[in-house]
Structure formats: structure tokens, C-alpha cells
Amino acid sequence: MKTVSLVTGDTIPVIGLGTWQASEAVIQQAIHVALDGGYRHIDCAPIYLNEPAIGRALQRYLARENVTIKRENLWITSKLWNSFHAPEQVEPALKQTLHDLQLEYLDLYLIHWPVAFKAAVGLDRPQRGEDYVALEQIPLTATWQALEALVDKGLVKNIGVSNFSISKLKTILAIAKHQPAVNQVESHPYLPQTELLTFCQQHNIVMTAYSPLGSGGRDAAFKKPDEPSVLNDTTIHAIAKSHAVTPAQVLLAWQIARGVVVIPKSVHPERIQQNLAAIKVKLTKDDMEQIDYIDQEIRYIDGSFWETAGSPYTAQGIWQ
């Protein structure tokens, strides 16, 4: 499996299986198909509400008699949910994830959003302004230092962030004892994140693209009625046709060629395999330029869902 080197010297597999919106009922089969097919990287989060099912799937897979893969051959990422940013909440939150995933350690633990809730919100959605906590009250730097303590205790091997802008990354870099290894953000040709990618590469931070296929299966709550689908883009289709591959494979191959890790989600065996096979797709310089030229600014996961009345957060502020 092709990998990308992190600032710690560890190497992350360039394709991982995304698990957002994968229900408990189907995730076990998806994990087994993925591991059989050669995936070694699974991207998880407690808010996806399927970590216990993923834990059972991993446990069963690793216990199979004819399987030679061991825990240390896998790369498992999870994320600290917004309700647990207070430094004293961080280790218990990680321990719950380790319990659910049935693991002793994580390869990578990310701050999921630069947005904080009261601990009582747990894994529910905040309903009122009072459910939120402003970053002035729990600074991201304090949460970061609590993640660093997890590295020192050997509970996580690498730490990073998700949905962080350049200015928020700078805030962390200014105080970090352990540098952020990864910034996981939405990215696809309609949101190439070129400036952020350049900043990350200059600071030895690997960018991971979530929603690399445009996350078309998203819940209606996260969708605008008229949004264009990057998987249906005509330039992407033409390039796919010229290489006799699928549009999804072109979207993934483009990111990999830019040095970006991808975590496409699928629960269908043929797509899980097709997505991994994108590693073998070699785009030409002209293909890359054509895709770069699409250059739109369509953010599917725009953060507006954290704008509940009375919330101190705005979508614009999140990305600033």
C-alpha cells in the first residue's frame, strides 16, 4: 500500500476507508471487504455512531484463523468530538473510543472541529446557544495540549486536527510540543484547498481529503437542494473515459498525485475495491491541469449547522 510520511516519521496509507454515514448494519461487511481487498487504513469518529460496530468487525477480522494481518499493520484514525474539548474531558473521550474500537492505541487522533460544546451535549446535536462553548473559554491550544498528553502516555501515536484553517493551524503550531501531523478537511476539485495544502506542505502537515467524491450520499440535513455533484463533472468524466477508469478513480488519483491522503466512504464491495484501485491510475500533467482549472469554491460541508441561534460560531468564522 502506498503511504505518505508524517512529521513523526510514521507513514499513513494514502487511501483509507471512510465510515461517515455507514450504518452499523453494513459496516462490518464493508470493513471485511476493505481489509481483504488491501485497505489498511480506517477513518472513524465517535459522532458517526458506529465505532462499536467497527470495533467488533476489527476484532473478528483479526481473530480469523487464515488472517496474517496484525493490529500493527493497520492505521486507525479517530476524532475528539466537540463536546469533549475541555482538557479534563479529552482522555476519557479517547478511552471511550478505544473501548468501542477494542484497541489499545490509535494511530491518529484528530480534533474533529474547531467548535466546542458543553460536555453534557455528548453525541447529541446542540439545540440551544447555551449548548456551545466559545473558543475564548476553551482555547484550541488547551485542547491541543491535552492531545499531546495522550501521545506522551502512548495512547495515540500521532495527533492532528480537522476542519482547521491556516490561521487556526498557526495558533497550534505556535505552542505545539508535538506538531500536528495531519489536517483533515473537505477537498475535491470543487474545493481544491490549494492555499491550505501549500501551507500544510510547508509545515510538514499532511492534508487528508474527506468527501473526496463529494459525499453525495449525505443526509438531507447536510445538503443544499441545488448543489452540483463533482462525481458528475464533465471534465472528470472526459478524463475518466480517456483512461478507461471511473470518475471516482480520477477524483482520488488527482488527490494522491497532489500528495493528499483520501478517505472515500463506500459500503459496496465493488466500489470499495474500485476506490483502492485508484492508486494505480496515473493522470497526465494535462489531466492534472484540467482538473486544477475547474477551480470552483463549493463547500458541501459548510459548517452552517453550527450556527444555531445563540451559538458563538458562524460558518464564515470556522473557515477563517
Please select the residue that binds ligand A2P; options are 28, 184, 193, 215, rule is CB under 6 A. Answer: 215
Q: Indicate which residue of 39, 48, 190, 313 is catalytic.
A: 48
Amino acid (one-letter) located at 269: P
Q: Assess 216 for contact with ligand A2P (CB under 6 A).
A: yes
3-state secondary structure of 107: coil
Candidate ranges 8-16, 50-58, 156-164, 208-216; the one touching ligand A2P (CB under 6 A): 208-216
Contact status: 76 vs ligand A2P (CB under 6 A) = no
Report CA 60 to chain centroid distance, whole Å.
24
Stretch that binds ligand A2P, among 68-76, 155-163, 193-201, 212-220 (CB under 6 A): 212-220
How far is the CA of 297 from the CAs of 179, 303, 306, in angstroms? 29, 14, 20
CB atoms within 10 A of CB 291: 24
Helices assigned H by DSSP within the chain: 24-37, 51-63, 87-101, 140-152, 166-175, 194-202, 234-243, 247-257, 269-276, 285-294, 315-319
The residue among 106 and 252 lying less far from ligand A2P, judged by its C-beta, is: 252
> Residue 89: which of 17, 138, 40 has the closest Cα?
138
Residues in a beta bridge with 77: 43, 108
Least spacing, CB of residue 211 vs ligand A2P, in Å = 4
Of the candidate residues 79, 168, 178, 265, the single one contacting ligand A2P (CB under 6 A): 265
3-class secondary-structure state, position 115: coil
- The sign of the CA dihedral 94, 100, 102, 107 is negative
Dist. CA 193–CA 195, nearest whole Å: 6
Select 183 or 266, whichever has its Cβ closest to ligand A2P. 266
Residue 78 touching ligand A2P (CB under 6 A): no
Complex with ligand A2P: residue 248 or 318, whichever CB lies closer: 248
By CB under 6 A, residue 16 contacts ligand A2P: no
One-letter amino acid for residue 320 of the chain: Q
Pick the closer one to ligand A2P by CB: 74 or 276: 276
Interacting positions 225-264 with ligand A2P (CB under 6 A): 231, 246, 248, 264
Task: Please say if 105 is a catalytic residue.
Answer: no
What residue ranges in 125-243 does DSSP mark as E strands? Answer: 132-133, 159-162, 182-186, 206-210
Smallest gap from residue 272 Cβ to ligand A2P (A): 8
In the complex with ligand A2P, the residue whose CB is nearer, 19 or 97, is 19
- Contact assessment for residue 115 and residue 109, using Cβ atoms and an 8 Å cutoff: no
Q: Select the residue interacting with ligand A2P from 228, 268, 280, 286 (CB under 6 A).
A: 268
Number of residues located near ligand A2P, criterion CB under 6 A: 19
Nearest residue to ligand A2P, using CB? 217
Helix orientation angle between 285-294 and 234-243, rounded to the nearest 10 degrees: 170
Alpha carbons 157 and 151: distance in angstroms, whole number: 6
Q: For the CB of residue 55, give the shortest distance to ligand A2P in the complex, in Å.
A: 20
**Secondary structure (3-state) at 269:** helix
Q: Which stretch binds ligand A2P (CB under 6 A): 60-68, 107-115, 265-273, 305-313?
A: 265-273
Q: Which residue among 92, 217, 228, 310 contacts ligand A2P (CB under 6 A)?
A: 217
Active centre residues (catalytic)? 48
Residues engaged in binding ligand A2P (CB under 6 A): 18, 211-217, 231, 246, 248, 264-268, 271, 274-275
